[in-house]
Amino acid sequence: MRHNKKINHLGRQASHRKALMSNMACSLIQHKRINTTVAKAKALKMYVEPLITKSKEDTTHSRRVVFSYLKDKTAVAELFRAVAPKIADRPGGYCRILKTGFRLGDGAETCFIELVDFNENYTKEVKVAEKPKTRRSRSGAKKAEAVAPAVEAPVAEAEKKEEAAE
């Protein structure tokens, strides 16, 4: 029976597993999307999501806690500067796993793991809401200039008649 055995050991010793998770988490934070196996992606998701939650609160203590897991100051800086503001209103579920098939060499199931708010394909709905820019041709501008003097001419004639009457 495997009661209370939640962690996937991934066939590695504890120190090797910690180094693997730390390196993969740093790569995910820096590149926003990485390609790996499904088992590693699921383990990474469990590893990185609490760190992202911790990064919502930008304090010295939370930075030190996150650094103790990642051990890469550029990744920590990226997490607190770029990732945390984008996911500030999200209550959880910061990573998405997209399965991509099987690896040719050993048949392992592969996938992409990515940060949810950084995929442009899924966030296009926000950009579509903006008003699209219309293109106007030059002929339209010439027509507008031709119409404007024709409208101004009767007004100018009426003003001249008023001046002559005085």
Q: What is the mean pLDDT of the chain?
A: 86
User: Domains of the chain: which residue ranges?
Assistant: 14-128, 135-166
Kind and range of the H or E element at 124?
helix 124-128
Report which DSSP code applies to 80: I
CB-count exposure of residue 136 (10 Å: 0-12, 13-18, 19+): exposed
| Lowest model confidence (mean pLDDT) among 27-31, 35-39, 116-120 | 116-120
Residue 79 has pLDDT above 60, yes or no: yes
In this predicted model, what pLDDT tens digit does every residue of 116-130 receive, in sequence order? Answer: 988 888 766 655 556
Give the fold, CATH level 3, of 14-128.
50s Ribosomal Protein L17; Chain: A, (3.90.1030)
In this predicted model, what pLDDT tens digit does every residue of 133-157 receive, in sequence order? Answer: 777 666 665 655 655 555 555 555 6
Is residue 88 within 8 Å of residue 56, measured between CB atoms?
yes
